[in-house]
Structure 1
Amino acid sequence: MSIATGTDRSRNLSPNGRAALGLAARGIHVFPVRAGTKFPLVRWATEATTDPETIIDWYTRWPAASVAVACGPSGLIVIDVDGPAGAESWAALTAQHGEVATCTVTTGRDSGGRHLWFLAGDGPSVRNSAGLLGPGLDVRGVGGMVLSPPSVHRSGRHYEWANRAPLAPLPDWLRQAATPAPQPVRRATPGRVSTASADKVLAALVRVVLTAPEGTRNDRLFWSAVKVVEHADAGRLDTETSVDALLRAAEAVGLPPAEAARTIRSAVEGPVRA
């Protein structure tokens, strides 16, 4: 009996599967997400990989899955330029510091959007942030993920390569701008919003799910996901990282993965976000 090799199996992969293999061959860690969403189909924080056999297994099982990239292990920093506000903010930055040619993806957003891919390099780590560089500019670094072509955006359009220029090293000025200044320690006072770190905020929301009594777990998961949206809109949390943490917590307490994903999706994409 003959055993099919990875090369033989890859010939039957979907375009998304072949794209994932192509990225992996360049050292980029990938994982599958549900098409049209950013909901991981695996525990991406620990399972994103460059291993061809694993990727072939994933895209044989989920041929329509979109292709996501784990930025940290891939050594990438991605600047998300979202809509007209993001384009204006980016133009202001590059007018001051100079434009940098690098690999660029169009995201398929209704308002227009681009992802600028940079090599993280050996400098200080850059973590996720929202709006730190300016309105409409998000950063995906350590702990972050982005979708890659030919994934489907929730608008129904596909992510596409705007150009395939070589990945440029992250400029020093951009690394500095994407690194938040240390915040002074403040004591919480009644009636004021807590200044707890993003890690503490997310840990508290995960704990709500993990400690929910049986019969209330789905409701507590929804509540936590709504809070993730609020904190993400305020720039305190990264949505993708937070959603993954909630999904893992839901799985840990016994909620079926599909049910948990639907609950979180209704909170993240539903009218609560409007």
Structure 2
Amino acid sequence: MATLHRRHMERPTGWPISTPATPPAGTPGEPAEPAEPIKHVEPAAERPADHPQLRPAARPDPGSAVRPDPGPAVRPQQPGPRTTAPTPGPDPTAPADAHAAALAHALLAAERGYPVIPLTRNKLPALRSPHRGHPEVPPCRGECGRLGHGVHDASTDPLTVRRMFAAAPWATGYGLACGRPPHHLIGIDLDTKNGADGLTALRFLAEQHGFPIPPTVTVLTPSGGRHLWLTGPPSPTIANSVGRLAPGIDIRGAGGYLVGPGSLTARGRYALAPGAPHRPAPAPDALLALLTAPPPAARRESPYGVPPQPAAALVRFVRASPVGQRNARLYWAACRADESGLGQELAARLTEAARHTGLSAQEARATIASAARRRRGEPTT
């Protein structure tokens, strides 16, 4: 027990020094210009004096992060099927060092002003609600004084953080509450699942609305996506949303949380991107305007023969592609055009825009054809 207590008292010791870097392009289908592969950060041996807001602690050997604790704990040989909904509980596959590392990272985040909660390997709040079976009306958000209210439990008080983790020894990660002072954190979740390309979609929005994507804290997810951390104003409140700005872009605002770097989940570990800045950048005003705008009205059909306004924006987006992003932008724009029913109409204009950037007509047509096959559900390779 004394050994476990000492592990909980430890703080992350590996704090790599990084410098701002241009985000990787992520250009599928352009062998001549491969995107820089995403790699996890290997922490340095010592914590520099001017460490970032959150940098990952020295990680254990990857093999040991997923092996069961070799201790004498008794585990069932043939676990039977669940008969009830899963509830948080001890996870025999979660090594004790993952819990200790998560606590250490959470304490450091709390020290930097980020309210935190413990998370399970499935990225859910680790503490079950004290009102299960008899919900409060209106819902209790912690006024009862007990733990188990999800993101509403988030705290920067180290004693409270230790108390939460002590009550959830199965926790292997932590979440940072968004929208809370002093940072009023906004999370931009750029997804890559199901054919989405959140990063390219964000670049398109940035060019269309004239705002820069500032260098900021960037966390790489096990699925290949990334989380951008931005700071916002105390008001208006930034709401959570899924795909509202564009496919592949989710927003974490008030009432939401981000999985913190160093967290171990069922799919892998979250880590800070190499070269990412140490502190979150302020959200650009034009982006805040998009995040606080009323939900768009029901989509109306354009008059016959008049292409919708985004069509010209898609062509401009492809025409302005820098080297390293040409195929990614062309593919993304072709997918959006195809989804709008304008795939064939815009194919020639997109091909010409791609040739302006230096791609050959053959390369451009192959990329556009790949986007069309994706919509039909056919293999793209």
TM-score (norm 2): 0.43
What residue is the counterpart of 2:164 in the other structure? 58
Q: CA deviation at 1:169?
A: 1.0
Task: After TM superposition, list the pairs within 5 Å mapping 1:229-244 onto structure 2.
Answer: none
2:221 to 97, 102, 107: 107
2:280 counterpart of 1:174: no
User: In 2 relative to 1, CA 181–9 (structure 1 residues): closer, same or farther, beyond 3 Å?
Assistant: closer
Aligned 1:156-171 pairs, distance under 5 A: 157-162=268-273, 163-171=276-284
Distance 2:295 2:7 in 1: 52
Question: Which residue of the other structure, out of 137, 153, 156, is the alignment partner of 1:47?
Answer: 153
Distance 1:138 1:8, change over 3 A: closer
Partner of 2:28: none
Q: Kindly, what percent of the aligned residue pairs are identical?
A: 33
Change (3 A) 1:57 1:165: same
Partner Cα distance (1:63, 1:130) in 2: 31
CA RMSD of aligned residues (A): 2.7
- Counterpart CA distance in 2 for 1:154 and 1:8 is 22
**2:211 touches 2:284 (CA, 8 Å); kept in 1?**
no
1:68 is matched with 175
- Moved >4 Å (runs of 4+): 6-9
* Counterpart position of 1:263: none
1:82 alignment counterpart: 191
Which string of whole-angstrom CA distances, capped at 9 and with x for unpartnered residues, describes residues 47-70 of structure 1? 111110111122234345110111
Whole-angstrom CA distance in 1 between matches of 2:281 and 2:245:
19
Q: Which protein has the larger Cα radius of gyration, Structure 1 or Structure 2?
A: 2
1:2-58, Cα deviation, whole Å (9 max, x unpaired): xxxx99962397111010000001111000121233244231243111110111122
Q: Please give the alpha-carbon distance, in whole angstroms, between the structure 2 residues aligned to 1:53 and 1:8.
A: 16
Q: Secondary structure at the match of 1:27?
A: coil
Equivalent residues of 2:125, 2:151 under 8 A apart: no
User: 1:183: Cα distance to partner?
Assistant: 7.0
Which residue in the other structure is 2:10 paired with?
11
Mapped to 2, the partners of 1:168 and 1:152 lie a distance apart of 26
Three-state SS of the structure 2 residue aligned to 1:116 is: strand
**Amino acid in the other structure paired with 2:212:** G
Summarize the Cα distance change of 1:90–1:153 in structure 2 as closer, same or farther, 3 Å threshold: farther
Tell me which residue corresponds to 1:23.
109
What is the identity, as a one-letter code, of the residue corresponding to 1:134?
A: A
| Equivalent in the alignment of 1:146 | 258
**Distance (Å, rounded) in 1 between the aligned partners of 2:8 and 2:123:** 26
CA distance in structure 2 between the aligned counterparts of 1:7 and 1:72, rounded to whole angstroms: 33
Q: Tell me the TM-score normalized by structure 1.
A: 0.58
Higher helix share: 1
Alpha-carbon distance in 1 for matches of 2:286, 2:160:
38
For residue 60 of structure 2, what is the aligned residue in structure 1?
none
Instruction: Indicate how the Cα distance of structure 1 residues 40 and 62 shifts in structure 2: closer, same or farther if over 3 A, else same.
Output: closer
Q: Is the 8 Å Cα contact of residues 76 and 120 (structure 1) preserved in structure 2?
A: yes
Q: Counterpart of 1:195?
A: none
3-state secondary structure, aligned to 2:269: coil
- Residue-by-residue CA offset, 1:159-207 (whole Å, 9 max, x unaligned): 10112432111111111111242678xxxxxxxxxxxxxxxxxxxxxxx
Q: What's the counterpart of residue 204 of structure 2?
A: 92
Deviates more, 1:11-20 or 1:113-122: 11-20
Please say if 1:131 is aligned against 2:238. Answer: no
Number of equivalenced pairs: 177
The letter for the 1-side match of 2:287 is L
Unaligned runs of 5+ in 2: 12-98, 128-147, 298-381
**Structure 1: distance between partners of 2:121 and 2:292:** 32
Equivalent-residue separation in structure 1 for 2:6 and 2:161 (angstroms) = 12
Structure 1 distance, partners of 2:7, 2:261, is: 23
